Chains A and B, each alone.
Chain A
Amino acid sequence: MTDNRARIANVRSILENTQRKQRRRARKRETQAMVSLATPQAQGELLNPSTESEVGFMQDPRLFTDKQLERIGVVHPRSKNRALVDSLRQMRTKLFQACPEGNFTVMVTSVVPEGGASFIALNLASTISFDRAKTSLLIDGNMYDPTLHKMLEMIKLKPQYGLLDYLSDPNIGIENIVSPSGIPRMRIVPIGNRMEGDTEHLTSKKMSSFLDEIKQRYDNRFVVIDAPSISSSVDARVVADLCDFIILVVPYGGVSPNVIETVVDEIDEQKLVGVVLNNEPHASF
């Protein structure tokens, strides 16, 4: 009896896996088809002069120097690590190809904690802002291990409010939490002051309207959310429901395929735009 049940469960699991894989393949085909059609348009947008003039109003009080950027692990167009820059650009381009119409909100999360999601989110936002016609907004949604406030401290910026403050206090507006990042055309929203019931705020309607508003405020603004690991926190799943896309960061040599499959099963595969294999060691000494 028990054997039969186990066998049925096993068959069911195999069927589910097969269905999942079929769905992924279908999505992959759709994306490729979309990319081939959308590529010229996307290329055109990158060079749209009107959009460029629109973002030109953004003023940065202080900017990081190249050295400072390298110290905090952020790529810049002049970076000597061309492989890293190229891979991030490749990721950005694929992302744009996945959503050729308008801007989007993308959540970057890791399969396991310390998987490098913050690094990828930060550099994705930075890479998007390489394009003079686009701006990026990086939201620190990792309330367990926030990183952006440290970055701001380096350029002597200490924002008073952050995301959690905005969500919990109706008197605080969006303009109070969006800060310059020290990187041209890139804005950040730090996590803010933490308090009880933070997770509940993320599920609130205000959070959803906040994301809509900041996305729609500028046509050329792309929102990147740095979320905690999806396997260790429910916050990532909550935020994932509010985003357009999800990027899953897999640390090099950090997890087995089974772990990745388990994590993928927990998120909406329609939103999973792709996987980033992070922190691959150099092949030269």
Chain B
Amino acid sequence: MAKITLEEWAPLLARESIKRRTSLVLLFCLISLAFLAMGFLWQNKFESTVTLFIDDSNIVRPLLEGAAVSTANRDQVYVASEILFSQEILDTVMARGGWVDDSMSLEEKERIKEKIIEKTSIENQGTTLLRIGFEHSEPRTAYDTTRRFADLFLDKTKEDQATESEKAFDFIDSQVETYRKKLADSEKRLQDFRTQTSDARPGTEKNLDARILELRRQIESTELEYAEARSRADALQRELSRVAITADNVYRESQYLNQINELQSEMNLLLLSYTEDYPDIVKLRQQIDDLRQLASREKRVREEQARRGSTLVIGQDAFVSNTTSLNPIYQKLKAEASSAEADANSLQSRLEHTQVLLEKELNRSNKTTDVERKLSDLSRDNQVNHDIFQDLLKRRESARVSMTLDQERQGVLYRIQEPASYPILPKGIRFMHFALAGIVLGFAIPLALLIAFLQVDPRVRLASTVSEELELPLLAVVPHMASTREKDPWYAKRSTLTALIICVLIIYAFVSWLKYTQGS
């Protein structure tokens, strides 16, 4: 790649352009004529637009906000598209625009519809403006169609709104009537059921549950008390069996034991001073042994009596010897044991009675659950019907207001903010742009190609390449000498190339004149 400085570019380009003038001029002609042809064949697009003002800010609506069905937040472009591209409006536009006739097939008509939809643009401008545009190669058609679209759209929206509100009111009204009947029916069924079933009272099941709970608590409490009383009676009985009925034997035995203790003390005292074989000590030991034999004999007698069951019941006739008397402990225990037995029997009787009551309440409760379920179903049905009915009543009133608003044109209204304009200039690029681009690019593209070529081609064209890059002494740069014998071919002659450029310019002028004559 050649290194070319900025100073060298201008003369180099001039030289190379002259050298390759034929190619450059031919390229210029080709490019400019190609653009001219494109521009001539380019279909101009004229667009006519109408701007609608979406008026939903009337005085009444804020008062009814939340009551009536609001359409303010709906996507206006979507709504407008739905309306504009409805079968009815498209058919009318096509018929009035003369796009269709009776001889056309359905497919052709559909194709035209698709084209119309494609050429129609709907867009929001801010929140309150809606812009409807239509493109066509004929400005008159674009203008007429846009105006027609706007008129039909306004008529249709007004008509649709009124119809829609009326239909909504009728529907809600019919629903109100339906639910009124349903509500009356459910109330009647509830009433009949309550009449037929005595338990069908509110709170019956709750009371039963409380009663059952109380009885169960009583049973548990009584069971505890009974167990306690039974345990006490048994304990007293066991104690009674161990206590002697009379106090004689016991007394004598205790006398013997006391004497033994006294003698033992005395003997211990003597043993401190004397030996075992001291006569007093021997004597005391013999006395103690005798007393122990007597005490053991008394004990055996008492145990024999107890084994034979010789008890003495207080208050009953019994034989009592002179040497015997009733044991007071035995008497007291006997009285307490009788009392405890009586308490236990009483508690057992109460427990049985409470269990019988619990059984009865449980049976009653089973029956009441079914009744309660039926009653609950009927009440729920009644409540649901009641709620829906109330809601529908509100909605009916809202619908009535909406219907009235729409009938009196108080709902969302579209007004023409800016009427359809007759397009004077085509939209987008047009012939003039192509023509200018042809001239400019006709110069620019060959020049760019030449620059690219010079940038890429490594062949020596500059004195600096020899002297600086190759570092060789440069004697001279000899310009081309055109000898008199040397002649340019006819196509490279200055006159030919100038004529060619003039021809292109004449063609430009002619085509431009033709285009604008046709256009006007």
Contacts and interface: CB of A to CB of B under 8 A. Distances in A.
The answer to whether A and B interact is yes
Interface of A: 21, 24-25, 27-28, 31, 67, 70-73, 75, 81, 83-84, 87-88, 90-91, 94-95, 116, 119-120, 123, 247-248, 250, 252-258, 260-261, 264, 272-285
Given A70-B483, A73-B481, A255-B459, 10 more contacts: A71-B483, A81-B481, A87-B478, A94-B476, A116-B478, A252-B480, A254-B460, A257-B458, A260-B472, A274-B472
B112 to A, nearest CB: 57
9 contacts: A21-B471, A81-B481, A87-B478, A94-B475, A94-B476, A276-B476, A280-B479, A283-B11, A283-B14
A95 B481 CA distance: 21
B481 A277 contact: no
Contact of A278 (B469, B473, B478, B483): B478
Q: Which 4 A-B pairs have the closest CB atoms?
A: A274-B475, A91-B476, A283-B14, A274-B473
Contact of B476 (A88, A116, A258, A272): A88
Contact of B474 (A72, A275, A280, A283): A275
B21 to A, nearest CB: 7
B472 A275 contact: yes
B18 A281 contact: yes
A248 B470 CA distance: 13
A272 B475 contact: no
Contact of B478 (A248, A255, A279): A279
Contact of A252 (B18, B461, B475, B494): B461
Nearest to A248: B472
Contacts of B18: 281-285
Contacts of B463: 277
A228 B202 CA distance: 132
A255 B21 CA distance: 22
A244 B52 CA distance: 95
Interface in B451-474: 457-461, 463, 465-466, 469-474
A70 B484 contact: yes
Contacts of B484: 67, 70-71
A81 B484 CA distance: 12
A277 B480 CA distance: 10
A276 B475 contact: yes
A256 B458 contact: yes
B206 interface: no
A276 B478 contact: yes
Interface in B480-503: 480-481, 483-485, 494
Specify which of A28, A256, A280 lies most central, judged by the most chain B CB atoms within 10 Å of its CB: A280
Specify which of B469, B479, B494 lies most central, judged by the most chain A CB atoms within 10 Å of its CB: B479
Specify which of B459, B471, B475 lies most central, judged by the most chain A CB atoms within 10 Å of its CB: B475
B471 A83 contact: no
Specify which of B15, B18, B460, B461 lies most central, judged by the most chain A CB atoms within 10 Å of its CB: B460
A227 to B, nearest CB: 16
A241 to B, nearest CB: 20
B396 to A, nearest CB: 92
Nearest to B467: A275
A88 B11 contact: no
Contacts of B475: 90-91, 94-95, 247, 273-276
A281 B473 CA distance: 21
Chain B contact surface mostly? mixed
B476 A260 contact: no
Contacts of A90: 475-476
Contact of B477 (A70, A87, A116): A87
Interface residues of B, number: 32
B352 interface: no
Interface string B319-339: 000000000000000000000
A24 B471 CA distance: 7
A83 B482 CA distance: 12
Nearest to A31: B473
B303 interface: no
A253 B483 contact: no
A257 B471 contact: no
A257 B470 contact: yes
Nearest to B494: A285
A185 B478 CA distance: 23
A27 B473 CA distance: 9
B498 to A, nearest CB: 9
B16 interface: yes
B19 interface: yes
A90 B478 CA distance: 10
Contacts of B480: 252, 279-282
B458 to A, nearest CB: 4
A280 B15 contact: yes
B45 to A, nearest CB: 43
Contacts of A283: 11, 14-15, 18
Contacts of A284: 14, 18
B479 to A, nearest CB: 5
Given A84-B478, A280-B15, A283-B15, A72 B483 contact: yes
Contacts of B460: 250, 252-257, 260, 277
Contacts of A123: 478
A164 B478 CA distance: 31
A248 B472 CA distance: 10
A71 B485 contact: yes
A275 B485 CA distance: 27
Contact of A75 (B15, B458, B474, B481): B481
Contacts of B457: 253
Contact of A274 (B14, B15, B474): B474
B478 A257 contact: no
B478 A282 contact: no
A56 B483 CA distance: 30
Contacts of A274: 472-475
B465 A257 contact: yes
Contacts of B485: 71-72
B188 to A, nearest CB: 108
Contacts of B476: 87-88, 90-91, 94, 276-277
A162 B494 CA distance: 43
Contacts of A282: 15, 18, 479-480
Interface in B1-26: 11, 14-16, 18-19, 21
A81 B480 CA distance: 10
Specify which of A73, A252, A254 lies most central, judged by the most chain B CB atoms within 10 Å of its CB: A252
B14 to A, nearest CB: 4
A176 B456 CA distance: 53
Given A73-B483, A252-B461, A272-B472, A277 B19 contact: no
Given A73-B481, A276-B475, A253 B466 contact: no
